[in-house]
Amino acid sequence: MSEHKHTFRRYKDNDDVHLPWNEEIFEQDTSYKCPTYTHRTPPCQGSCPSGEDIRGWLDIARGMEKPPADLSWQEYAFRRSTDANPFPAMMGRVCPAPCQDGCNRNEVDGFVGINSVEQFIGDYALDHNLAFQPADKESGKKVAIIGGGVGGFACAYQLRRRGHACTIFDEHEQPGGMARYGIPSYRTPRAFLDGEFQRIIDMGVDLKMNTRVGRDVQMEQLEKEFDAVVIAIGAQSGRALPVPGGDAPNCISGVSFLDAFNQGRLQYTARKVVVVGGGDTAMDVVSVARRLGHIETSHEKDRTEYVVLGHTAHDVATIAKKEGAEVLLAYRRPIENMPAARHEVEAAISEGVTIRGSLAPVKVVLSDDGRAMALRVEVVEWDKGEMQHSGKMIDLECDLIVSAIGQGGDLQGFEAFDNGRGLIDADKFFQVKNRPGVFAVGDIIKPHLLTTAIGHASIAAESIHHYLADESMEQRPKIDVHHFDLLQKLKEGDLQPDLFDHHADWGTDTANFAMHNYEDRSFQEIIPADKLFLGHFEYVPCHQRKETVVTAEQVLGHFDERFQGLGEDSVRNEAERCMSCGMCFECDNCIIYCPQDAVKKTPAAQSTTGRYVYTDYSRCIGCHICAEVCPTGYIDMGMGA
């Protein structure tokens, strides 16, 4: 990216019309406006599905926000991060990081490596056995959570913090849901996954594993025994190819393929594998298939589909005979439009996967014994998002077809909740319609990211908390995030405002019962790059995590973790690249450039995050210079003098 991209110009060519008078009134070099310090949500946080205070824990990592005396910066950052997301080690590895796509630093030199800093924080917490604590007082209320994946455990975590007892029901032997059974271990190493789930269990969460609701226990029974029920069963049923022949025995779903692999039952696959899809599941399937390889001479019972269906399991002793599998991914749109993360696509190509776009499945070509022998596709073109048929057909030879084109829920035992699309409908508070006390979170509402399920769980836990207290649920904010709280930060440093007796008063700018010239708009506004003074920031390249590049010759049997985490120095340097959008980071520009010496540094004994500077209104003439040179967009000219 160009080093000159961040050149800043407040006024553009041909800007010769003044702003409306009610927005900007100048008489010579003065106006009626004075600075207001305005806290807004940064785009990283606004685009995070779990609503983490990303700017907050980056500010801690960089050393800007100081921890209390009894905490290391790493633990303080961990506590701030896990207020929203209890799985930083996992999410730092597997989240496709929409926060980085939205990062305003992209307008300077490239995004901040948020996921690498999060991975460091999560790994530190596990290495140092940092624990979560439930509420000091138990509420006496009990909540049943159906599904032991990320969404279910995140909900249990937030509920235990509020003092509610939680019991998780799950049909698998181990907790984890799709994080364990849908994502390969080289992306989520099991030691980190186990540690982060165990930390929530240790809060006092009861587990009922190998227990399927609807078979071993009925939903109606849970509704009687518990004060609330959360359905977090995920979307673990893959969709078959909707073309003739798509139900052939060797046409399986990507979800079931990965489940068999992650359970250890699938040790090798077919010689020629065709995968249909373009999302994260499709990329996991092709990468796993390349790593598994195939065995040239094997028994019929060892065919992939029989293992996936649970009829048999592979004998580990035979895997020494493995050879590389030919893996082709077919996507109906152009390759550049694939929803999968770009680095996942590049890694798959490096590993020897053939990826072809603009191929629309037409039918499965069957052999005499009814098995798929090829996938017939039409070569299509795309014009302004519309598919144009060419009529040209080609057959992609295969021994196995894996469909990774979408997922739905396994609603056996939950038929009354089915919205007709294999999912469950819930309202904005994640309560199931016409079913008081029953809530739903995660992929069973709409398949998306693991971080999305965590965000659902956070909102649902708050809704459940109000429900259990027989309180009406308040309106959700426009931006569902865990915001920086200035009052809480002031209390942390024993700097909270004095008690106020609510008497009428004037000239309160010197009083200490209020937080002066500060406005919190974080619940309503995300600050865009054009509100920042980008020219303040130097060109500093991202400190990228090292990625193990696996070639086609190396991929067979290669299950080592793909990303190597950053060391502490690199993490702190990367956090330093954060521009602290919407929050002061003590650059002192406003103090240095104020011609009236009206903007001053807050005395050290009273200073904290969000209160680094203040304005002496008796000296301010409203010249706007402080707002013009503020890098983070923290200063608005809004308060009348």
Structure-token pair, residue 65: 């926000």
Instruction: Look at the domain 238-407 and name its fold.
Output: FAD/NAD(P)-binding domain (3.50.50)
Task: Please report the pLDDT score of residue 286 as a whole number.
Answer: 96
501-505, 516-520, 614-618: range with highest mean pLDDT: 614-618
Q: Which two tokens stand for residue 202?
A: 């240790």
Inter-CA distances, 440 with 392, 445, 499, 588, Å: 45, 7, 41, 47
From CA 350, how far away is CA 287, in angstroms rounded?
10
Confidence at residue 497, expressed as pLDDT on a 0 to 100 scale: 77
Q: Is 127 exposed, middle or buried (0-12, 13-18, 19+ CB in 10 A)?
A: exposed
pLDDT digits (tens, 9 = 90+) for 173-193: 999 999 999 999 999 999 999
Same fold, 142-236+409-468 and 238-407: yes
Q: What is the mean pLDDT of residues 387-400?
A: 95
Enumerate residues 6+ apart whose C-beta is below 8 A from 482. 51, 52, 53, 83, 84, 458
Tell me how far apart the alpha carbons of residues 347 and 344 are, in angstroms, rounded to a whole number.
5
Handedness of CA 523, 527, 531, 537 (dihedral sign): positive
SS3 541: coil
Q: Is the pLDDT of residue 13 over 50?
A: yes
Average pLDDT value for residue range 282-291: 95
pLDDT of residue 306: 67
DSSP code for 416 = G
pLDDT for 295-330, tens place per residue? 876 666 667 776 776 666 666 545 555 688 999 999
> Measuring CA to CA, which residue among 202, 203, 193 is closest to residue 160?
203
Closest Cα partner for 610 from 64, 34, 67, 76? 64
- Would you kindly state where each structural domain of the chain is located, as residue ranges? 26-128+483-640, 142-236+409-468, 238-407
Give which of 47, 49, 45, 44 is closest to 448, Cα–Cα. 49
**Can you give the pLDDT at residue 641?**
46
- 125 secondary structure, DSSP code: H
CATH class as words, domain 142-236+409-468:
alpha beta
Three-class SS state of 23: coil
Predicted confidence (pLDDT) at residue 128 exceeds the cutoff of 90: yes
Alpha helices in 206-270 (DSSP H): 219-225, 254-262
510-554: pLDDT as tens digits: 667 666 677 888 888 999 998 999 989 999 999 888 888 899 899
DSSP class of residue 363 equals E
Smallest CA-to-CA distance from 582 within 511, 508, 483, 493 is with: 483
pLDDT tens sequence across 452-501: 999 999 999 999 999 999 998 877 777 777 888 878 877 777 777 777 77
